[in-house]
Amino acid sequence: MTTEIPAADADVRAATHETLEDYTLRFAPRSYRRWSTGVVAVSALGGIAYLADFAIGANIGISYGTTNALWGIGVFAVVIFLTGFPLAYYAARYNLDLDLITRGSGFGYYGSVVTNVIFATFTFIFFALEGSIMAQGLQLGLHVPLWLGYAVSTLVIFPLVIYGMKVLSTLQVWTTPLWLVLMVLPFAYLLISHPDSIDSFFAYQGEDGAGGTNLGSIMLAAGVCLSLIAQIAEQIDYLRFMPPRTPENSRKWWTAVVLAGPGWVIFGAIKQIIGLFLAVYIIASVTDGAAVANQPVHQFLEIYRDIMPGWLALTLAVVLVVISQIKINVTNAYSGSLAWTNSYTRVTKHYPGRIVFLGVNLAIALVLMEANMFDFLNTILGFYANCGMAWVVVVASDIAINKYVLKLSPKEPEFRRGMLYAVNPVGFGSMLLAAGLSILAFFGALGDTLKPYSPLVAIVLGVVLPPIIALATRGRYYLRRADDGIPLPMYDEFGNPSGEQLTCHVCRQQYERPDMAACRTHDAYVCSLCLSTDKIADHVLPAAS
């Protein structure tokens, strides 16, 4: 091999400069991961401060009654926890975001592009939902027209997201205590001062009065809640910065991973129940309460008014809404920009900059808000849930079953170009079948009997298809080659990714061992992003013979 080292071009230099801020699209090296387990966990949980849970809980309760809604929330919590655990562990252990995990967990280098689009869709749908709630607060408190409130709630996020993880972690840590106080106060007040509201809550039968316990209604409610399944990807965007796990920090490490990973659903389920509880109280106690019972800003305002003067109640309700929406929408915008950028870079071999797709994501969300998506929320979330569940459940199945039980999928992750096949039918095929059939069921194409159970279709197929296809293909489509050409160990004595640093001969920056591979045409090493932007595959290692 020749030892000539080419100069980095403008595209590579731009990508290098920006991705070093928070290791966009890359393995997160230990030299950057200086946060404690506690700070990472609080930052990750700060991202679930959204009020959409209150709206979702209220909506499914109004539609299906309290009993069905509670059972639906229970189904949602169990599914989210079980599928989120292997993903969260894998991300924290190997310091990868969910896209990089997906590549090596049954989808292939290009096959995971479709899941990035699914995740990006999640981020702008929920950005729009949260932005709508913030606009409702601005309209109520400051008389800002809704159309202008939508624009304000979008534009205020842009500068906060430019600088990545450093700014986001600070924002989440400092705003969480105030948010917790403002959220818990009205619920605690009702429980103490209006104990009769508990009986009214459990007796509520829904808007049509026919909310008796019904399995179909439970699954329809669960389907709406399960649209949040892709939230684990946003949790992972923080968890990838966990410090290495060692015998000394093992207990704290596991606690942080469980609570901030799949454990987010515990807090999410509690918020949905509170949202339903507040909605039922407002419907029963406030004139024309049914018209606003599913709007979180009105939920909190009505309770605050019972506790304090009207002007202070309005102020605190607006403050809670603004804090909550900023906390979650910086995460939505950040994660969405990563997803779009990752897909575009792989397909075009060109890195346009994360900020470009930050703008794209926010623009799509603004269009949804202006289209008043809040009025058809259940339909949007119910449809999206089928796609999100198919993706997340398939990846979780591949990790838990194919890697650790069948051992057909490589146990350690792989995400670098040249090391993976373009498409792996195990995950890619499983997701297409699971999502496609569950969407058909959702729209009634498989019969009215199966229609309410579309979430179960996605879940069951997502679990069973990956091992079936892996066994049928004998796992041959996971790795294009097993040797990356670097004669250094990938992991340390505790199984953590190695901190050994090597220099990329294309961008001339140092990266840690897991991010590097040998170059095909030079006696040197090349980083994962430079491999991704290599238009002529000059640096990409050949397939194993």
pLDDT tens sequence across 178-235: 777 887 888 788 888 888 888 889 999 887 766 678 888 999 899 889 888 888 988 9
Bridge partners of 510?
A: 503
47 pLDDT tier (thresholds 50, 70, 90) = low
- At 65 the pLDDT is 92
Average pLDDT value for the chain: 87
Instruction: Please tell me whether residues 127 and 8 are part of one structural domain.
Output: no
Instruction: Please tell me whether residues 469 and 371 are part of one structural domain.
Output: yes
At residue 382, does pLDDT exceed 80? no
Residue 489 resides in a domain: yes
Instruction: Please tell me whether residues 18 and 145 are part of one structural domain.
Output: no
CATH number of the domain residue 139 falls in:
1.10.4160.10
Q: In this predicted model, which residue has the larger pLDDT, 166 or 498?
A: 498
Last residue of a domain, one of 454, 473, 492: 473
How distant, in Å, are the alpha carbons of 17, 223, 299, 308, 314 from that of 138? Answer: 37, 30, 15, 20, 10
How distant, in Å, are the alpha carbons of 93, 417, 487, 491 from that of 500? Answer: 17, 20, 12, 9
Residue 187 resides in a domain: yes
Residue 383 resides in a domain: yes
Instruction: Please tell me whether residues 469 and 486 are part of one structural domain.
Output: no
Instruction: Please tell me whether residues 9 and 137 are part of one structural domain.
Output: no
Q: Is 106 left (phi over 0), alpha (psi -120 to 50) or beta?
A: left
Residue 66 resides in a domain: yes
Q: What is the pLDDT of residues 236-287, one digit of tens each?
A: 988 999 999 999 999 999 999 999 999 999 999 999 999 999 899 899 888 7
Q: What is the pLDDT of residues 461-505, one digit of tens each?
A: 999 999 999 999 999 999 999 999 999 999 999 999 999 999 999
At residue 11, does pLDDT exceed 70? no
Residue 100 resides in a domain: yes
DSSP state of 507: T
Residue 543 resides in a domain: yes
Q: How many percent of the chain have pLDDT more than 90?
A: 45
At residue 171, does pLDDT exceed 70? no
- Quick one: three-class SS letters along 32-73? CCCCCHHHHHHHHHHCCCCCHHHHHHHHHHHHHCHHHHHHHH
Q: Which two tokens stand for residue 21?
A: 């801020």
Domain that holds residue 142: 32-413+425-473
Instruction: Please tell me whether residues 42 and 24 are part of one structural domain.
Output: no
Instruction: Please tell me whether residues 126 and 227 are part of one structural domain.
Output: yes
Q: Which two tokens stand for residue 535?
A: 């238009």
Instruction: Please tell me whether residues 440 and 347 are part of one structural domain.
Output: yes
Overall domain count for the chain: 2
- At 245 the pLDDT is 94
Residue 419 resides in a domain: no
Instruction: Please tell me whether residues 184 and 112 are part of one structural domain.
Output: yes
Taking the C-alpha atoms of residue 13 and residue 17, their distance in angstroms, rounded to an integer, is 6
Instruction: Please tell me whether residues 82 and 160 are part of one structural domain.
Output: yes
Instruction: Please tell me whether residues 181 and 237 are part of one structural domain.
Output: yes
At residue 535, does pLDDT exceed 60? yes
Instruction: Please tell me whether residues 181 and 68 are part of one structural domain.
Output: yes
Residue 418 resides in a domain: no
**Closest alpha carbon to 393 in 484, 461, 308:** 461
